[in-house]
Chains A and B, each alone.
Chain A
Amino acid sequence: MDDLERDGLGRDGLESDEFERELKQAFERRPAPPSLKRKLMDRRSRQRTERLHLRKVMWERLAACLVLAALVGGGFEWHQREEQRKGEAARQQVFTALRITNHALNQVKAQLAEHDRDRQE
């Protein structure tokens, strides 16, 4: 006696057994359409191809993104270095100009000092 009979589902004896037997016969598995497996395998193959294609496209996009990121990063780095180089060159020019100016001022100062000494004498 299984659960259903214990629960009173088969309580009307022989008639119920016959009914349930009839149900089991009526509800036997039906064979699947012969085309089901073929259609399924076709869809599976199509889906796999699509998945492979999508994966390929995804990798291509990823590679393109990486190349683009490398280009942008490289460009940014080059720009930074270029700015640094220009800044350094400008600094050197300023120092040179200051050195020249300093030298010129020293010369003027020496001339003025010499001129003052001459006047005092």
Chain B
Amino acid sequence: MTNPDPMAEIRASFFIECEELLEAMQDGLQTMDDGQQDSETINVVFRAVHSIKGGAGAFGLEPLVRFAHRYETVMDQVRSETLAITSDLLKLFFRAADHLSDLVRLCRDDMDIPQAEGDAILAELDLHAGATPAEEEDEDIDFQPLGLSLDLDFGDDDDTTGTSSYRITFAPATEMFETGNDAVPILRALADLGDCTTTCDAERVPALASLAPETPYLSWTVMLSTTAAIDEITSVFEFVDGLCTFAIEPVDNEVGFSDEAFPDLPPLDLLPEPEEVELPPLDMLPEPAEQISAPVEDTPVVAPKNEKPARTAPASPNAVVRVDLDRIERLVNLVGELVINQAMLAQSLESTTLSPHSDAMRGLGEFQRLTRDIQDSVMMIRAQPVKSMFQRMSRIVREASAAVGKDVRLVTDGENTEVDKTVIERLADPLTHMIRNAVDHGLEDTDARIAAGKPSQGQVRLSAAHRSGRVVIEIKDDGGGINRPRVKQIAIDKGLIPADSTLSDSEIDNLLFLPGFSTAATVSDLSGRGVGMDVVRTAIQALSGRISISSTKGEGTTFSISLPLTLAVLDGMVIKVADETLVIPLNVVTETLTLRADNLDEIQPGLAVVRVRGSMVPLFDLGRHLGYRKQKETYVDDIVLLISKEDGNQAALIVDEIQDQRQVVIKGLDDNFYRAPGIAAATILGDGQIALILDPSDIVTQAAQDAGHPNVPQKLEA
């Protein structure tokens, strides 16, 4: 196995951790916004920013560190209650959080970082913090070893290249040991710097009877001859500075260390201090006793503990393993093979004369159950809660509502609902668009809301739930509902429907999904980007999903998206055309019917339509368009599938036989195969037969082009 650069690995895992932290931060801010501003919530947000800063520092991500630091500073003031939380400040925190997310992603992708927005937020943050940026910056460059005021001799030392000699005196105080420091490592570190002679002054050690075990009695004098600068010697004492008395004095090189090594004066200087701490020994006398009894008492308690925690300890609360997506992909594929294999085995066993109570058949039943469990578990690996996406949407709402000057609150529900990772990723764009639409078009202006007796703050509810093997995501606003007369008028004006058509409410609602439909009288810079609901519908259908709309005047509009749990398995209809077995995604099939002479109209040879409840639907013979057979003489008594295309148009496909409805495992056709129009993928059926999975929209588009069908609009494609 290849082992890539460990730093790159950690960097990658840092960004994953960042996503978690950003999520926690958003959650915390949301909780604060909901009015729960306890210290733990604030702490969570603070820690998230703090940890991002810490990690960013380790990877030298300067812009991220800088922003996080100043954000954290203000947060800290809130935490220490020197700064009160106002709704303005919270809004700013949200904005800063959004910007921080941006920075994290930009840093992750090594992109350029635009300055302006961050600076603006920082300026506002600083305003709240009451600190000038300059002050902050100063605080940033801090860590320096604490220098000792020996500047006097500094000049002399500097020009002596090579070794210099120092006399270092060192006497620990009691506190030094209380912090877990010890004299030996310090003496050793000094010895590591060069040649040294160390003398220990043990004069103050009392008789054993009066010796307090935790009181330092010893002091040392070290004559050091070193090339190290005095700073480096000082740094040895960094951790114990203030917990001991020490002095570093340069000694003339010429003199070297002769008998000067034992000048008694400096140690005498030190005497007063240790003497001060000589009083406590009396108080501390009980301690040794405690110390002796304690371990005895401890051992039996600790020993049994030793076994259990040893095993539980490494398993942190939510242990996570990072796995390459490719490996999961491979596993999903293999499980797909397994499912197929199991189906084949079942089929061949059923064709034997084995009794259903035989061991083999019972074993098969068990095998089927296991296979299903494995399949479900594997799909679970790719499943992720929709929470991260919902959080992105709350940002969209904040930005969109600010842009159109409406006060909007996003309420989310079921954010722990799990959906296939790929589905979540591909759902982000359509959802963003729908949320923007809800804020921009769905909700009324504040004035209109008040006039209608509604709360001035509009609400957009985003919810997710599992419903009969699918995921249903709803976007619901409490706005004015769809203005149906206006929608209809626009559709007529744009020539999308005939002026005299009578449409039901739901048919009018569905006009929104027509390509080229946009209700905004003035194109706002928010939703009017040439992207209509038709694009949303196309994206949802590409995920094998369905989207529907419902609206009540004065109460609001709800868009409901229903999605399969995974993209690896498809609900398909198994059909037969000219002796070929094919699969059509079930979600596009709206109806099946049999052609009769009275609902069939042949416009010209090879060009026919079927009349379904008053509308004319173009008819296509799958067998002919897939090249399996020639033009049929007559279509009477043929079976047709009515399919609804992504652009909202319908088409009817002639098939010979409908065999089954079942879940099929999607097998991608790799690049070795010719990319045939109308063929999406393939699957292997239970009898081992390979069946192609059709893309009906593509077939119809192709066929309409060939036949020059007049009333089938061309699919909008570049």
Chain B binds chain A: no
